[in-house]
Structure 1
Amino acid sequence: MLNEFWATAPTRYKVLVFSAMGLIAVGIILNLVGNTSGNSGLATASLPVIGLGLVLHIAGIVVRGQAIRKGYKR
Structure 2
Amino acid sequence: MLNEFWATASTTYKTLVFSAMGLIAVGIILTIIGNTTQNKGMAFASLGVIGLGLVLHVVGLVVRGQQIRKTLRK
Runs of 4+ in 1 over 3 A off after TM superposition: none
Q: Give the aligned CA root-mean-square deviation in angstroms.
A: 1.0
Q: Distance in 2 between matches of 1:33 and 1:41?
A: 11
Q: Could you list the runs of 5+ residues in structure 2 that have no partner in the other structure?
A: none
> Which of the pair is proportionally richer in helix?
1
Question: How many residues are aligned here?
Answer: 74
TM-score by length of 2: 0.93
Task: Work out the percentage of aligned pairs sharing the same amino acid.
Answer: 73
* Map of 1:8 onto structure 2: 8
TM-score by length of 1: 0.93
Name the amino acid aligned to 1:69: R
Q: Distance in 1 between matches of 2:23 and 2:8?
A: 24
